[in-house]
Chain A
Amino acid sequence: MKEQPQKPGFSKKPGFSRRHITEAIAKGFMLLSFAVVAGSLGLILWTVLVKGLPALTWDMLTQTPKGGFYLGKEGGILNAIIGSLYLAGGGTFVALIFSLPLALYLEIYLGESRWGHSVRLSLDVLWGIPSIVYGAFGFTIMLALGMRASLLGGIVVLALIELPIMTRAMDEVIRRMPADLEHAALALGSTKLETASRVVIRQMMPGIITAILLGFGRGIGDAASVLFTAGYTDNIPTSLMRPAASLPLAVYFQLGTPFPEVQQRGYASALILTIIVLVISLGSRWIAARVGKFSVK
């Protein structure tokens, strides 16, 4: 916080003039909006916790839905938990395979060139496309190929959604790296490929981990795209061609039933999903900080 440059003794108390009143009012409004924003976001976590915790049982985590689960009978949402981990894990893995070389290429080879500019622009456009449009796109492609809703379809669509997110995240990391590092490697006679694969990639390790977990978090929370492409099932998927359940859809379907017991479980499922996302978000910071120790500052 910066103080107004006033020497003590030189000017006494600030005068009670109009601009000071404005200042006080503006500051009051700012504190109020800060409280509103922080409060409503805190309220979300609180609501999910309070509503979800009573219904959260061990069975929910360890069992698949039994007959009559959606009427309030016993069972759990293990199918959705495993399905979501498969979908988001697979999607992130595929997206990483493409986004890491892409980010390296963008920075080290293309830089500020015209083609680099177009690639970045299309990544921005892809970033802005809503997941439901990706879902519809994936659906038309699967229809054309004669595929049914399957784990594979869900993974591919999630990879498409995560690709721009992860590429831009890693692109930013490389851009913020000290340029000397790259110059030194090149000056020692390394080719661009060697610079990218031996020097830059090591330096950006924390950034890669952050990007992976960013993509994973986005993938596991995405409902609109997997609705079309991965379908929903009460079983744990055994192959790539089988449909897969996912947590966001489990929440949605359970809340859509008219039975209070099932809705309670919907809240509990939302709590599970929130906890997974929070753990990932906090975990990525922790891991990135640990790995970051080994990079050049």
Chain B
Amino acid sequence: MAEQALKNLNLENLKKEGRIFRPSLPSRQGQEKSAGRVFFVLSIIPVVLVIAVTVALFVRTWPILQQHSLWELISGTVWKPMKGQFGFWPFITGTFWVTAVGVGLAIPPCLLTAIYLSEYARASIRAMMKPLLDLLAAIPSVVYGVWGMIVIVPLVGNTLRPAFDRWLGFIPLFASNQPTGFSILSGGIVLAVMIAPFIIAVIYEVMRTVPEGLRHASLGLGATHWQTIRHIILRQTLPGVIAGIVLGTSRALGETMAVLMVVGNVPQVPKSIFDAAYPLPALIANNYGEMMSIPLYDAALLGAALMLLVIILIFNIASTLVLQRMLGKNWV
């Protein structure tokens, strides 16, 4: 029997039976090597792309940098392309304000929601939440913009603005200088809702990685749920919480359509959250049509794109460094 089996195993028989003929070891290793080379070339693409995006935008921005100094562009407050005046300060502050309001509004409810889902909620709610968060992260930004125009802008314009004006109007931050709801606050609220699924998902995932033993030990010592969360869970997951916020912030910085539709788009340095603002992405998207007709306008707009890119890169690198330092210390 054994001999028979051995005979069947020899190559001729295998071929006759119609089994696939495997190439020899050297040719397979050759395949492996050439595949490795092709793969390597593929893996260069992302690295090259990062550099290419930066360089291409820089090259197109160069003409305006020759006529105006960088400082003049960044600190200038007058935006009159027809007269050759390109001050980016209103747009930089606009981007900053809308993002800050959005992230500021998003953090407390997102953090509490993630804690609730991770520590209190029943398994059935938890199982429902993941698909729901994915779904919400997939809703296009223009839909959030539509919602903002229908619901948030009237809410801010007719309810919040008069109320704040009446009770807190003496604080410059809450003063109302214009009659509509197209304002930083509207942009911030829309952004907050948009980035919420991302922030919640990250924080929730991190909280689930905390070992059950830690919770049990704390509860076993007689701590309440909330004490366990504050002193054990939050301390353990602080880097993860920060990573979630960073992710949300970098999305908020670059968000174009939703913000553009509700923020008012007035090139001024905003003083109150009820002022209209004009963030960098909105500037680029709104004016791309006429950018080739005015001298240096295209360089200015692509410069705005470059500025946005640099802001996001610096923000991401800085936060990565902070996180690495934190992880290097006593966090698990």
Interface residues of A (CB under 8 A from B): 1-2, 4-5, 19-20, 22-23, 26-27, 29-34, 36-37, 40-41, 43-44, 47-48, 51, 98, 101-102, 104-106, 109-110, 115, 118-119, 122-126, 128-137, 139-141, 160, 163-164, 167, 191-194, 214, 217-218, 220-224, 227-228, 248, 251-252, 255, 266-267, 270, 273-274, 277-278, 280-282, 285
Please report the number of residue pairs spanning A and B whose Cβ atoms sit closer than 8 angstroms: 239
Residues of chain B with a CB closer than 8 A to A193's CB: 31-32, 35-36
Task: Give Cα A106 to B145, complex, Å.
Answer: 37
Question: In the complex, what residue of chain B is closest to A277 when comparing beta carbons?
Answer: B138
When the two chains form their complex, are residues A36 and B139 in contact, meaning their CB atoms are under 8 A apart?
A: no
Instruction: Name B's interface SS.
Output: helix
For chain B, residues 282 to 300, give those with C-beta under 8 angstroms from any C-beta of chain A. Answer: 284-285, 288
Stretch in contact with the other chain, from B53-61, B75-83, B163-171: B53-61
Given A43-B151, A140-B60: A218 and B141 within 8 A (CB)? no
Task: Provide the bound-state CA to CA distance between A4 and B281, in Å.
Answer: 50
B193–A252 CB distance below 8 A: no
Q: Which residues of B contact A36 (CB under 8 A)?
A: 109
A23 engages B116 (CB within 8 Å): no
Distance of A31 Cα from B125 Cα, bound (Å) = 13
A111 to B257, CA, bound (A): 38
Q: Which residues of A contact B32 (CB under 8 A)?
A: 191-193
A10 to B256, CA, bound (A): 60
On B, residues with C-beta under 8 Å from A are 28-29, 31-32, 35-36, 38-40, 42-43, 45-47, 49-50, 52-53, 56-57, 59-60, 108-110, 112-113, 115-117, 120-122, 131-132, 134-136, 138-147, 149-151, 193, 196-197, 200, 215-216, 219-220, 224-227, 229, 250, 253-257, 261, 281, 284-285, 288, 301-302, 305, 308-309, 312-313, 316
Kindly list chain B residues whose C-beta atoms are within 8 Å of the C-beta of A139.
Answer: 288, 302
Q: Which residue of B lies closest to A280 (CB)?
A: B138
Chain A interface, >50% SS class: helix
Q: List 19 A-B contacts (CB under 8 A).
A: A2-B215, A4-B225, A23-B227, A41-B136, A43-B151, A109-B39, A126-B46, A133-B309, A136-B284, A140-B302, A191-B32, A222-B140, A224-B281, A248-B140, A270-B143, A273-B142, A274-B140, A282-B135, A285-B131
